[in-house]
Structure 1
Amino acid sequence: MHKISLLGAGVSLAFTAFFGLTTPAATDDTLLDLDKEMSAAEVLADARAFRNGYFELHPAPFHSVAEADLMAAFDHIEASIHEPMTILDAWRLFSTVNPVLADAHAGIVIPGRSKIMKARLAAGERIFPLSVYFGEGNRLYVKLDNEANSGLRKDTEILSINGRDTGAVISDLLEHMRGDNPVHQRVLLERWFPSEYWALFGSSTAFQLEYAEGGETRTATVDGADTLKPASWAKPFGELFEYKILENSVGYLRVDTFDHDHKADFFALTEQAFKHFKEQNIETLIIDIRENGGGGNSMWQKGIMPYIADRPYRHVSSYTARVTEDNASEGDVIGEIQSGVYTTMTEPELDNPLRFKGKTYLMIGGMTYSSAIHFAITLQDYGIATIVGQPSGGRAGTTGNVTNIKLETTGLKAFAPVMLFSRPVRDGNESPVQPDILVPHHPDNPDRDIETLLQLASGK
């Protein structure tokens, strides 16, 4: 048996795949016509292709879900197809399996969704204009008025949208969200509420809101937004990465993505950052990956580890893989499942003149996923840093090498991972990465999390 190469194994579609922002397989410049009506036979053919493709690709299809639950979800989809439906309605049906799969690297999305939405907004459609955060019991609060025309203050609780209780709205949306667990799914929905609302409920020129103020229920009519908030990975480089000196000579490095597209600039930035940290004689370093949904392992392996690692390390201990045309070695049989132990250790650069030798904290949270989880478990398992914050969004034992499942008729984008990894040293692959020190999260003001950590680090 030949060993499958782990080269690039940590690379995931990250949130590009998560929110369906890649283009259809047909052509890079073709936008899917979501209003196109498909026959019941065509929709059923793609439903079966989705089911079959998942089982053909995934090396451990029931690692995150009970077999009976997953089979029932796929059966429900097929049993619900009785008449023609639009491509958008097909997605609304197919995506009910997303939360059941309990793996953000598996599911179905609308390809090119952001481009489709921008085109529709230009044609007159409108989306929910507020960025939000969730409270206990599916309570909904204003985080930011993206259009600055609602008159609603930050932290205002929204009680209903267009006559529907917000708790019910959130519950409905969660029935279509991908994510490794319910907490992960909620965090992702929270970040992308306007887009997810549009995908399930459609456009609305104005939104009728009930909200709480001064102990009373008030109403407001808020115009829909005509612009789409940029995706996190589409933000300018300067908004994704940051380094600075905090109080008490604490160094701070924020890394919101490990997207390979930023590799050269990121490597230059981290070199500058650690040079600055050395010049300032910092004794404590905070690396913040709370908003990091992944990308490629080489970003942190080459961009951060040379400056903080003080012992040999590996990012996985073993793997289970489905052999595909993309990962096969000579003599492998396409479709077979292989397992192996990953023994290669990366040596630290002990002679690196910029290597930081003080106390390192790594901040994680509900958005921390994919290669960002590989980074976190590597630091935790080898004691290179103290993990702080909230549990990660995904499991410590992640999947990877996401592969597309071709859906011929609808053009929707389905996919599944072909690799399953075990963390480097510790057990607990099925659980999120647990911080060594829990730091309370303030969704209304994430900077308060850092202030709390600074107090803990200083012993106050």
Structure 2
Amino acid sequence: MFDVLKDNHPYLALKKRVEGYDWVAHESEFESAITATKNDKEFVQTIQRILLLINNGHTSVIGPDLFNLIKNLPEELTPWHNEAAKTDEETVARWFDMVVESMAYPQNQALPFMARYNQGKYLVYWISDDFSRRYKVDPGCVISKVNDMDVHDFVANLRGETWLYYDPQYKRLYMRDFLPPYKGAPYQVTFENDKGGTVEATASFQRITKPIYPPEFPTNIWQLGSNIYTAILEEGRVAYIHIFEMTQYQSSQLEREILLSFFEEIKDVPALIIDMRNNSGGDDRFWMLNIVRPLAREPLNEFQGAAIRTGEYIKPFMEANAEAFSDVEGLTSLGMQLTQKDIPSILTPEELENLPPEILGPDFEPPVFSMTTIEPSGECPYKGKIYVLTGPGVFSSAESFCMFCKSSGWATLVGEYTGGDGGGSTPAMITLPNSKIPVFFPSTLSLNPDFTANEETHTAPDVLVEPSPEDIIRYLKALTEGKKFSMPDPNYDTVLKECLRLALEETEAR
């Protein structure tokens, strides 16, 4: 496994440059850790920790749900099917259960407070009554230290125990929700209020008797019973869609029918909001064929750039992926492969500065630059203004959709920076020969339209809007008090509220 990843994983040099962790340099440490394991549980948990140290959302031991998706990939994707055939569902589930066990809190156990990373800080949005009375801390304060360590340093040191997000604005690693590992011992936490006062508290894990919902958006996300939610907002002036995942295209017929019916209904509505928040991806063909082609009024062009490592293992995966998706209806792509020595004379100085330097080195094949065109299907051409809501939960194929919107100009992105690792080809897999543990890892390093690495800078919204601390706290208070949101509510949702304002302002001015 180590040798395959060392020669084929596209992000190892990027992670060293951006996050300061040289995964390859720890080979002997990894060997010692594996040798020291005493049973299956320790073995697979050590494998997962080694993978988590790369710190990429596509790099992990494969679980049952993903394994079933891989088994149902198009038959042309032979390398994936070959690797999947080396293990089975029972084995996958057994290993993955052990992985999950190492990362989960004991049932009904949690810290006496909960915090969400918001605007570069860990905003406390819920505190137990006992903890609040004892230490005189309330929702709205922020965490400044943990175990006498700056909270951002503390979180960065959790690398390998959980997947950490990367914040391209503040250039730091973070957890979306402050959920440090369960160690049994309490954490010493310093809280800071909005007046600069601090409180030091001992936070022990305790029994939680009722669920505390994290501040996920849209507000009705906890009530959604299907993958597609549609609504008409602002007295018929704004159409709204939330899509939870990009379903495998061959299984998306019902969702396609729902979308086409809604698109026909809203053809005269002046604005459409497509909410991608908390969509962690799936199949690119879902958004290409079920959203963009039906709504497009003219051909839409997207610039794409990608590079792969020089390792031999990844090549059959790339060849199979290119062949399987070369004839998607309504899509054409023209590309060119440039040698590393030619790139400096073709790119502008700014583009060259943005380009991840590792692509120009000997460990990467010459990058491929292409222009992909999506032709309109003519089903429901939409003449209104389109907006896409973004956030850090946007990942993989949902990220690719946002990259397309940014590159083509088809829609205006509103919200927070996305989660990254979009574009490129289907991630590869390897099944360990003796244990039959399947492992997933990305196949390509994808570039944004400005030639930055998407895994590094993610996709920047056209209109940056971050949830306000006040809205988050009011939202959680409402949830805690039992309020049920049957539809998205802009009174608690900063991003949706601003997008609605923009939509009404821009459509009225047209």
| Alignment TM-score, normalising by the size of structure 1 | 0.65
Q: Partner residue of 1:10?
A: none
Q: 1:265-311 CA distances to partner (integer Å, 9 max, x unpaired)?
A: 32122123223323xx3211111112111111111112211343233
- Of 312, 315, 337, 1:323 maps to 315
Q: Partner residue of 2:176?
A: 190
Q: 1:196-237 CA distances to partner (integer Å, 9 max, x unpaired)?
A: x4xx436x6x978979699766778764359999999x9886
Whether the aligned pair in 1 keeps the contact of 2:287 and 2:401 (CA below 8 Å) is yes
Please identify, of 71-80 and 297-306, the stretch whose mean Cα deviation from structure 2 is larger. 71-80
Q: Distance in 2 between matches of 1:118 and 1:102?
A: 17
Query: Structure 1 208/391 Cα, relative in aligned 2: closer, same or farther at 3 Å?
Result: closer
Q: Partner residue of 1:47?
A: none
Q: Partner residue of 1:252?
A: 240
Query: Structure 1 142/239 Cα, relative in aligned 2: closer, same or farther at 3 Å?
Result: farther
Shift of 1:118: 8.8
AA partner of residue 254 (structure 2): D
Whether the aligned pair in 2 keeps the contact of 1:252 and 1:287 (CA below 8 Å) is yes
Q: Partner residue of 1:405?
A: 430
Q: Partner residue of 1:267?
A: 256
Q: Distance in 1 between matches of 2:161 and 2:317?
A: 31
Q: Partner residue of 2:166?
A: 181
Q: Distance in 2 between matches of 1:273 and 1:149?
A: 48
Write the mapping of 1:53-132 to structure 2, written as runs, cut at 5 A.
Answer: 53-58=4-9, 62-66=13-17, 69-78=22-31, 83-85=36-38, 89-90=42-43, 101=54, 103-107=56-60, 112=93, 115=97, 125-128=107-110, 132=115
Whether the aligned pair in 2 keeps the contact of 1:157 and 1:211 (CA below 8 Å) is no
Whether the aligned pair in 2 keeps the contact of 1:388 and 1:437 (CA below 8 Å) is yes
Whether the aligned pair in 1 keeps the contact of 2:189 and 2:202 (CA below 8 Å) is yes
Q: Distance in 2 between matches of 1:220 and 1:59?
A: 40
Q: Distance in 2 between matches of 1:97 and 1:179?
A: 14
Q: Distance in 2 between matches of 1:59 and 1:343?
A: 22
Query: Structure 1 156/56 Cα, relative in aligned 2: closer, same or farther at 3 Å?
Result: same
Q: Distance in 1 between matches of 2:306 and 2:29?
A: 32
Write the mapping of 1:49-448 to structure 2, written as runs, cut at 5 A.
Answer: 50-58=1-9, 62-66=13-17, 69-78=22-31, 83-85=36-38, 89-90=42-43, 101=54, 103-107=56-60, 112=93, 115=97, 125-128=107-110, 132-135=115-118, 139=122, 141-142=124-125, 155=139, 157=141, 167=151, 170-178=155-163, 181-182=166-167, 189-190=175-176, 197=180, 200-201=181-182, 223-224=206-207, 238=225, 240-247=227-234, 249-260=237-248, 263-278=252-267, 281-313=268-300, 317-321=304-308, 322-324=314-316, 327-328=319-320, 340=368, 342=370, 345-349=373-377, 351-352=378-379, 354-394=380-420, 398-408=423-433, 413-423=438-448, 426-430=450-454, 431-442=457-468, 444=472, 445=475, 447-448=493-494
Shift of 1:365: 1.5
Query: Structure 1 137/345 Cα, relative in aligned 2: closer, same or farther at 3 Å?
Result: closer
Whether the aligned pair in 1 keeps the contact of 2:425 and 2:444 (CA below 8 Å) is yes
Whether the aligned pair in 1 keeps the contact of 2:415 and 2:464 (CA below 8 Å) is yes
AA partner of residue 58 (structure 1): H
| Alignment TM-score, normalising by the size of structure 2 | 0.60
Shift of 1:245: 1.9
Q: Distance in 1 between matches of 2:322 and 2:418?
A: 37
AA partner of residue 125 (structure 2): V
Shift of 1:143: 5.2
Question: Pairwise CA RMSD of aligned residues?
Answer: 5.0
Q: Distance in 2 between matches of 1:400 and 1:188?
A: 26
- Identity across the alignment (%): 19
Q: Distance in 2 between matches of 1:381 and 1:201?
A: 42
Query: Structure 1 235/339 Cα, relative in aligned 2: closer, same or farther at 3 Å?
Result: farther
SS at match of 2:110: coil
Whether the aligned pair in 2 keeps the contact of 1:139 and 1:166 (CA below 8 Å) is no
Which consecutive residues of structure 2, in runs of 5 or more, have no partner in the other structure? Answer: 64-91, 309-313, 324-363, 476-491
Query: Structure 1 254/329 Cα, relative in aligned 2: closer, same or farther at 3 Å?
Result: closer
Shift of 1:401: 1.9
Whether the aligned pair in 2 keeps the contact of 1:59 and 1:418 (CA below 8 Å) is yes
Q: Distance in 2 between matches of 1:240 and 1:154?
A: 36
Query: Structure 1 103/316 Cα, relative in aligned 2: closer, same or farther at 3 Å?
Result: farther
Which consecutive residues of structure 1, in runs of 5 or more, have no partner in the other structure? Answer: 1-49
Q: 1:425-446 CA distances to partner (integer Å, 9 max, x unpaired)?
A: 5533443212221123337257
Please identify, of 427-436 and 412-421, the stretch whose mean Cα deviation from structure 2 is larger. 412-421
Shift of 1:189: 3.5
